[in-house]
Amino acid sequence: MMNPELLNGAALAYMGDAVYEQFVRTYVLKSGKTHPNRLHRSAIKYVEAAGQAYAMQAWIAEDDFLSAEEIDMYRRGRNHKANTKAKNASIQDYRQATGFEALIGWLYLSQQEERLTVLMQDAIDRIERRGQNEPKA
């Protein structure tokens, strides 16, 4: 059995990306959309680096929202030296999103399903509210 505590930030983020993507896809499908292009466009705001960074910043800003161990896992992902660069995001958002995904991956691999679900749903809720508060172009 693998110990998620020993994985590097990139490995945790790799898993977290897949877990969060599946959660978001399920959420978008439950909204009633069925056309693949509409599903994809609906999911983007939740899975893009800017959305993940936004949720992560909000969690960190709230005292005691994340445990010390959760913050450590976020930092492990955020601080991991990546050989790739962000396509459609600032480097800061990209690194924070990698930390977000590392936290999600760690929670999944350490079988903390209840906390994992709480955080993923909270991220979606925050990103959704953020979109409602932005001015229409």
Residue 73, domain member (yes or no): yes
Read off φ and ψ for residue 89, nearest 5 degrees: -150, 155
Q: Look up the pTM and report it.
A: 0.89
pLDDT single digits (tens) 64-83: 999 999 999 999 999 887 66
pLDDT single digits (tens) 112-126: 999 999 999 999 999
Indicate whether 86 pLDDT > 90.
no
CA distance 116 to 108: 7
Residue 134, domain member (yes or no): no
| Window from 26-40, 47-61, 76-90, 107-121 with minimum mean pLDDT | 76-90
Residue 136, domain member (yes or no): no
What pLDDT shows up at residue 125?
A: 95
Residue 135, domain member (yes or no): no
State the amino acid at position 67 in one-letter form.
S
CATH number for the domain that contains residue 86: 1.10.1520.10
Residue-range definition of the domain harbouring residue 117: 4-129
CA distance 134 to 38: 20
pLDDT single digits (tens) 93-114: 999 999 999 999 999 999 999 9
Are 24 and 47 contacting, i.e. CB atoms less than 8 angstroms apart?
Answer: yes
User: Could you write out the DSSP letters of every residue in 35-81?
Assistant: -HHHHHHHHHHHHSHHHHHHHHHHHHHSTTSS-HHHHHHHHHHHTS-
Residues labelled as active-site residues: 17
Average model confidence (pLDDT) across the chain: 89
Domain count within the chain: 1
